[in-house]
């Protein structure tokens, strides 16, 4: 959807905050348009929602998953789906699955998870099931995670080597002159060309509409009449697309950290996200100034914000020290990524206090380690395909400008509105200008007419998916119910609010949504 700074030149929302917080603790039917373009956006709801699968698709819907023990108490399996839903008798791909059986005797069915991204591993997220879901939900449901097509273990998109990704992510994301703009454009073009060279066959078929169709095949293969789903961040967009395609196939759906499907990435989504990070940074600083370990040389919030601005400007010219030994220059891009990582979850704020204190003394090592969490870079220099999948999915899910000047103008405006993050976020969508597959899509509200109540959860100071998006999505969905949380960080369920957890659990288990709207208070 949008290009998150944490994605490292990614075009979209990234993983749910819980994943980032735990990592911080550990480390310290597609068709072809008349012009040959690919129509990858969700079609109008109706046919897919009300008709039985076609004869060609029926074998997919009736398949039986062969589960085998793997990874502690989990079971792993594969799901066959068509590469191209317009040609279901053609080439197949496999979707990788993982399941944690329900712990109780009164099993209701399965709950399918998606952590966000696009590009986040649903398999990895499900492995954290005991943190992601409450014991009450774990008792009633098999927890099922899947890597969406193009992601992780499911026909992954590949574009660049690890060394190339290091260079790409480290590009100056706030270019100040024509030479720097040219360098950034060259890097974006190289990324797009790399994806075409290595993954051309996959690129037209990794959009969210196809992933939603895969999810309905999964629902049937699991034996569930209606899907029970928890999607966070980008996972809310996947859920909304599914709901619009299959409104009568929903049992219960929670969309936490919501994205508004009606607005386009450049400039609207990127500008809103940049502003969201500004709000989160201010909230962090206000809290920091109350702490004895706060590294700022001032007790004034605006002055502290200026200190962060000065740090970022300084690293644009003079990189911070890197004690990891991997040779990377901790420039403005890596510094920004490190800051953003910890803003996703209030539980990471102590780490950010320490990291900024070190950075003010010239040491960026902790900020770099934080950034590596967000881009899923391993200590050996290798990456998951999270960044590549994110770009591949977003670039065909939404319309993007195809003039460099459009990005430049949008970045200049965003920088005025969000001085620390605006330009960086806006320029992050640039690879989509050069993308080899041009989508024939329009960003628009998704109604999911005929669906049962869908619970949309919004956090009032969410840095990555602004609260307004949750309000918008809840109003756009024909049966949307809004649950607001007066809190900080990205997403709300299982981040500390008993009020949120109880409301979500009641809905998931009993299908009893809260009153529309309902608010949960700030944790004191």
What is the rounded distance in angstroms from the CA atom of residue 347 to the CA atom of residue 326?
Answer: 28
Show which residues are catalytic. 233, 462, 490
- Can you point out the beta strands (E) in 265-373? none
- Cβ neighbors of 129 (< 8 A, separation 6 or more) are 100, 113, 138, 143, 145
> Sign of dihedral through CA atoms 192, 194, 195, 201?
positive
Instruction: Please report how many Cα atoms fall inside a 13 Å half-sphere around the Cα of residue 59, on the Cβ side.
Output: 8
Q: Which residues contact 183 (CB under 8 A, 6 or more apart)?
A: 171, 172, 175
Q: Which two tokens stand for residue 147?
A: 């890597």
Cβ neighbours of residue 499 under 8 Å, at least 6 residues apart?
485, 520, 521
CA distance 494 to 481: 19
Distances (CA, A) of 471 to 56, 106, 250, 456, 489: 39, 35, 21, 8, 17
One DSSP character per residue, 394-461 reads: HHHHS-----HHHHHHHHHHHHHHSTTTHHHHHHTTGGGGG-SS-B---------TT---EEEEEEEE
- Other CB atoms within 10 Å distance of the CB of residue 25: 12
Classify residue 108 by its DSSP letter: -
Q: Which three-class secondary structure state does DSSP give residue 92?
A: strand
SS3 204: helix
Separation between Cα atoms, residue 144 and residue 250, nearest integer Å: 16
Task: Confirm if 333 and 424 have CB atoms less than 8 A apart.
Answer: yes
Closest to 320 in 3D by CA, of 266, 386, 370: 370
What values do phi and psi take at 494, rounded to 5?
Answer: 65, 35
Per the CB < 8 A criterion, the answer to whether 85 and 29 are in contact is yes
Plot region of 159 (φ>0 → left; ψ -120 to 50 → alpha; else → beta): alpha
């Amino acid at each position: 959807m949008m290009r998150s700074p944490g994605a490292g030149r990614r075009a979209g929302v990234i993983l749910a905050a819980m994943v980032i917080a735990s990592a911080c603790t550990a480390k310290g039917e597609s068709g072809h348009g008349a012009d040959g373009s690919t129509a990858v956006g969700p079609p109008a709801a109706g046919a897919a929602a009300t008709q039985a699968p076609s004869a060609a698709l029926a074998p997919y819907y009736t398949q039986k998953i062969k589960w085998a023990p793997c990874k502690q108490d989990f079971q792993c399996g594969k799901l066959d789906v068509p590469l191209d839903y317009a040609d279901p008798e053609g080439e197949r791909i496999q979707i990788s699955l993982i399941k944690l059986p329900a712990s109780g005797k009164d099993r209701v069915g399965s709950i399918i998870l998606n952590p966000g991204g696009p590009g986040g591993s649903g398999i990895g997220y499900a492995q954290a099931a005991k943190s992601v879901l409450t014991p009450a939900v774990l008792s009633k449901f098999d927890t099922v995670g899947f890597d969406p097509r193009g992601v992780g273990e499911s026909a992954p998109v590949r574009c660049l080597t690890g060394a190339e990704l290091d260079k790409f992510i480290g590009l100056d994301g706030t270019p100040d002159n024509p030479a720097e703009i040219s360098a950034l454009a060259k890097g974006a073009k190289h990324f797009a060309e790399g994806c075409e060279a290595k993954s051309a066959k996959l690129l037209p078929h990794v959009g969210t509409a196809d992933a939603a169709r895969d999810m309905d095949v999964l629902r049937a293969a699991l034996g569930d009449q209606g899907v029970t789903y928890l999607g966070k961040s980008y996972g809310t967009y996947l859920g909304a697309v599914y709901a619009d395609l299959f409104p009568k196939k929903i049992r219960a759906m929670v969309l936490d950290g919501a994205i508004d499907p009606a607005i386009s990435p450049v400039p609207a989504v990127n500008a809103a996200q940049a502003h969201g990070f500004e709000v989160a940074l201010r909230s962090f600083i206000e809290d920091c100034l109350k702490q004895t370990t706060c590294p700022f040389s001032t007790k004034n919030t605006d002055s502290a914000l200026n200190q962060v601005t000065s740090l970022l400007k300084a690293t644009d010219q003079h990189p911070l020290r890197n004690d990891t030994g991997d040779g990377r220059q901790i420039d403005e891009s890596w510094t920004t990524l490190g800051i953003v990582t910890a803003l996703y979850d209030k539980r990471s704020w102590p780490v950010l206090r320490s990291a900024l204190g070190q950075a003010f003394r010239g040491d960026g090592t902790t900020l770099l380690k934080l950034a590596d969490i967000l881009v899923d870079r391993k200590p050996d220099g290798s990456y998951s395909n999270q960044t590549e999948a994110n770009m591949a999915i977003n670039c065909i899910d939404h319309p993007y400008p195809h003039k460099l000047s459009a990005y430049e103008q949008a970045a200049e405006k965003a920088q005025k509105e969000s001085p620390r993050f605006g330009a960086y976020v806006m320029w992050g969508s640039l690879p989509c200008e050069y993308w080899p597959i041009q989508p024939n899509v329009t960003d628009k509200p998704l109604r999911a007419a005929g669906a049962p109540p869908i619970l949309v959860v919004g956090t009032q100071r969410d840095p990555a998916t602004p609260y307004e998006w949750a309000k918008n999505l809840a109003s756009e969905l024909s049966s949307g119910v809004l649950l607001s949380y007066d809190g900080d960080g990205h997403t709300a369920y299982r981040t500390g609010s008993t009020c949120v957890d109880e409301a979500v659990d009641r809905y998931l288990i009993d299908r009893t949504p809260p009153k529309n709207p309902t608010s949960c208070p700030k944790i004191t």
